[in-house]
Structure formats: C-alpha cells, structure tokens
Structure 1
C-alpha cells in the first residue's frame, strides 16, 4: 500500500478518473488530501467524497476545492485553503488534464491532423495540461522550499503517445510537462523538494477514452494502479529521487516498494 507519514497532498483533477484514484489511495493510507477540480465537476467530486466515506476515511481527512488551474490566482487560493485546513503541504500531484476525447477518436478511427484541430481547443489543452501544472507548482513550491521538504508528481503519458500521429495537442502537452519535470527537478536540487513524472503505461479506463470509441474497457488499465507508486513518491522516496519517471503498470505491488520503484523507474524526458 505504501507507508503513510500523515502528509498533506494537493491532487488536481481529483473528482474522477486517475485523480480520484490517487486521492482515495492517499487518504486510505492516512494522508490528508485537498481535492481540486472545476466547479462543473461538483457532482463527481461528491462521488469522490462519498467513496471516501464508504472506505471509512474520516471526513476531516479529505476535502474538495473548486476552481480552475489555468488561473494562477486561483492556484494560490488552493494552496492557501489547504494550509488553512491542514496547516501544512508536503506534496502536489499535477493530474488535471484534457485529453483527446473532445477532438476525435482516441483509440482507433480517423484522427484530426494538427492543422485540423480548432485553435481554441489547442489553446485549451495546452493551457490546462502545461500552464495549469506550472501554475500549481509555482504556487506551492515556495512553501515547500521554506519547509526544506516537498514532493511534486506530474502525471504524464507514454513516449509513443507523445509522438503519435493525430495526437496533437495532447501528446505535445505531455511532452512539455515531462521536460518541465526534469527542469524543475534541476532548479530545486538541494532544496529538499523533488519533482518526478508518473504515468499509467497505457490507456486507462477514464473518460479520456470515450464510450464512442467502442473499445473493450476490460482491457484498459485501472486508474487505481496509479495509487501505490504515487504514495511511494509522496511518502517514502528520498531527495535523491528526482527528475525520474515511473510507469504504474510496471510497478509490482508484490515487491518491496523501493524494489518496485527500481523496476518501474527511469530517467525522465528521453
């Protein structure tokens, strides 16, 4: 499960999918979690909180915050709200993202070429996936540096997905975030704050894979596989683990977490 040290973590895009799976796993093992998502996802956030209650997670251990990660001022308010609620922040999981589901087929079918993607959609995806992650990291990092401890986990994607034909702008946005992971790790070297990338390792069973694609969802990866490696990165990984990428479907929960990390990890950004 990943040993808990009662840390406080902010998870963006936590109302559903991978974000929900990570938030619930972190809370289940004893961490306190601020779940961030859009006001339009209020119903989904309520489902996340209800799932926490069903798992026996105390109500004061996990709470929802509504706002938009593309707005830097709102990201500052997420940090302030978390500090007010829990008194500290130890980690950030940059999960909020827009996939290809609003642009065309994701798995199979005819995809749009980059110049056929509406410019508004290109800007929206880049703004959420890249700028939103930057905004959150920029808002929380001064607090982490001041504490001489912090863990930032950026949710990226597989290298083939970054380079796949017809996968603009999602692929380029995740490639940018992976490159940023390495740069931020270097910028924070020696501060006690680490930055790493975590990815499923294949298509996950979330709303980013629309029902219209007609795929066998039983063959998709379960979002819950992201929980154990994320918990290790937040709770157990040392300051020497930074600028790396970890693949969740390679993470073997039967192994000691440190051994699982060695098997599933590698240097980030090519």
Structure 2
C-alpha cells in the first residue's frame, strides 16, 4: 500500500543533512509538503536546490534552534504561508564532533570539557527542542491535532563512557518528550521519540569514530534508518500513538509489540 500524504504539512529542523535530509526525501516522495529548517544557510540552500523539483513541494527556512528570535521569525513566516502543521520533527542536534571537545575525546575526562561546548550541546539538543516546540505547538493545539517528534539516541549511548554532555542532553530531551506527551494528548497532539538504534553515518559521526567501528567490525547504520518509522508516524496508522520511543533498527519489533501490521 502506498501512503498518500498530499495536504500533509511537515516542518523538520536539521533537515539539510543526515537523517533529517533522508526523512525529508521520504516524506516528499509520498506527497507531503515539507519545510526544511537549518542554521547553516549554505547547506540549507544546497539541500533545497537538490530536493526542489516539480514533484516535490519543498520549502526552506533558515533557523537557529538556540535563538528564540530566529525561531519566532520562522514561525511567523510559516503561519503566513500555511494554515496548518501536521508534523513537527525536532531533528536538529550537535554531538561530540563539535569544536572544543578535542581534548575530551583524547583524555576521556569530563573535566576537560569546556563549559562553552557543554552549553552549546544542551542549548541545541534540549533548549532548542523546547523553543521550537513552544513556537509551533500552539498552532497544533488550535487545530486540535498534530504530532511532535524528537530525534534521540539509544539508552546505551546516553550512559556510555565518554558521552558527556551529548548522552545526558538526549536523556533530558526524552524526559521532556514524556512530559509533553502527557500534557498535550488531551489536546490532540501526539509526542514521540525516534532514534536510529546504533552508530549511524551522519555529520555527527567523526572520521575517527567511523574508523573505530570499521576496525572492530561493528555495525554502522545508514541515515535512511528512520525512513520507515517517520513514514509510519506520519500515517493514519499512528494517529493515536504517543509517549513512545521508536527505534529504527528495531522497527519491526516495535510493530510486533504493538500488534501493528504494515505493508509498506
């Protein structure tokens, strides 16, 4: 069965690369209107140029999820252009590859983490999620339906040695998702978490991390790992799903556990 998402509106942060870009392609291929948002204008423009075609109804807006004014401008632009929002994917994130964590990656000692780097990761992965949801959730509440998604990581990664502050930031984001799912359910807005379920080849993965996984014959997931889960969450099959964590590499197990049968 082919899912028809014509008339279905999506806004995705961090949509210019990695899993965000792949999810965008999947949603567009099924007829959705997708707005990709990203901080880096050059990458955003390149992604838009690649995705833009007669078949794809895609738009791009520059937005920094750590800057409330930037988000407010993007929200105003969106509401002037569109009359509804069906799916908000909070996918923007930064990890251990950011500048300033070089010494920590070598020593593995948390006290080598600059406070500025710690703040940047939490500002992006937690505060950014809050600010973007704060700006766009009222639109969903007003229309009485919608879904908010948070892209996270595995529990093992959250608590693995050497994963401060990325792991704890994702743990905080998941806790907030759980709270939001309870607060918004009665207003028709579903809130769920998605994650790949293992090390994934994205811009967050440093060359030395990829080399480590290859050398030790450890699996490396591709950024397409969330394509089926996001398509499911955008479909009518998931209209009552909330407070869940959907793991890309274990998606079939999720469906089985919930007695859901899909033919896509």
TM-score by length of 1: 0.85
- Residues 163-215 of structure 1, C-alpha deviations (whole Å, 9 max, x = no match): 01111110000000000111000111211100000000001101211113324
SS of residue paired to 1:70: coil
Q: Who is 2:240 aligned against?
A: 240
| Closer, same or farther: CA 118–80 of 1 in aligned 2, 3 Å | same
Q: Which has the higher contact order (CA 8 A, sep 6+)?
A: 1
Q: Who is 1:225 aligned against?
A: 225
1:53-64 correspondence runs (5 A) = 53=52, 57-58=55-56, 61-64=57-60
1:102-117 correspondence runs (5 A) = 102=98, 103-104=101-102, 110=106, 112-117=108-113
Q: Who is 1:76 aligned against?
A: 72
1:133-148 correspondence runs (5 A) = 133-148=129-144
Residues 1:192 and 2:193 aligned together: no
Q: Who is 1:42 aligned against?
A: 41
Q: Who is 1:130 aligned against?
A: 126
Q: Who is 2:15 aligned against?
A: 14
How far apart in 2 are the matches of 1:114 and 1:45? 33
Query: What's the offset of the Cα at 1:89?
Result: 1.0
Structure 2: runs of 5 or more not aligned: none
TM-score by length of 2: 0.87
How far apart in 1 are the matches of 2:180 and 2:235? 20
Instruction: Say if 1:156 and 1:177, in contact at 8 Å, map to a contact too.
Output: yes
Structure 1: runs of 5 or more not aligned: 265-270
How far apart in 1 are the matches of 2:107 and 2:157? 13
145, 164, 172: which one aligns with 1:176 = 172
Q: Who is 2:93 aligned against?
A: 97
SS of residue paired to 2:148: strand
